[in-house]
Amino acid sequence: MEIPTGAIENGREHLRRLREHYEFECEAGSLENCIDYSSAVHCFEVMAVSIRRQADRIERLEGLLSRAVEGPWLEGDLERARALLKDTSVNGGDDGDK
């Protein structure tokens, strides 16, 4: 899985620009104090972390599977593959809904 690092970096930059270069206001004052903006930034970061974790997990699983195809499994490979397939901590337990 290819990580969309360009999109993640661009998204962070766009959020920063919104905060620093535009005069948006809400009931709490500047955009930086707006709960909706803060929540959007938090959700974006949760998605970015989740994508990176998922990509790392897929990469480890691909490595195990390629070894299985090329030759005998090493001790512990089957257990590692099972753990990767059952891994539910892809998003770190944070659904970004705070």
Token pair recorded at residue 20: 């620093």
**Nearest-angstrom CA–CA distance, 86 and 3:** 21
**Nearest-angstrom CA–CA distance, 59 and 12:** 25
Residue 26 has φ and ψ, to the nearest 5°, of -140, -175
User: What would the pLDDT profile of 71-95 be if each residue is shown by its tens digit?
Assistant: 776 777 777 777 777 765 544 444 4
How many angstroms from the chain centroid is the CA of residue 41? 13
All structural domains of the chain with their residue ranges: 5-86
User: What would the pLDDT profile of 20-60 be if each residue is shown by its tens digit?
Assistant: 888 888 888 888 889 999 999 999 999 999 999 888 888 88
Alpha helices in 22-86 (DSSP H): 35-70, 77-86
Q: Where is 82: in which H helix or E strand? A: helix 77-86
Helix, strand or coil for residue 85? helix
**Has this prediction a pTM greater than 0.85?**
no
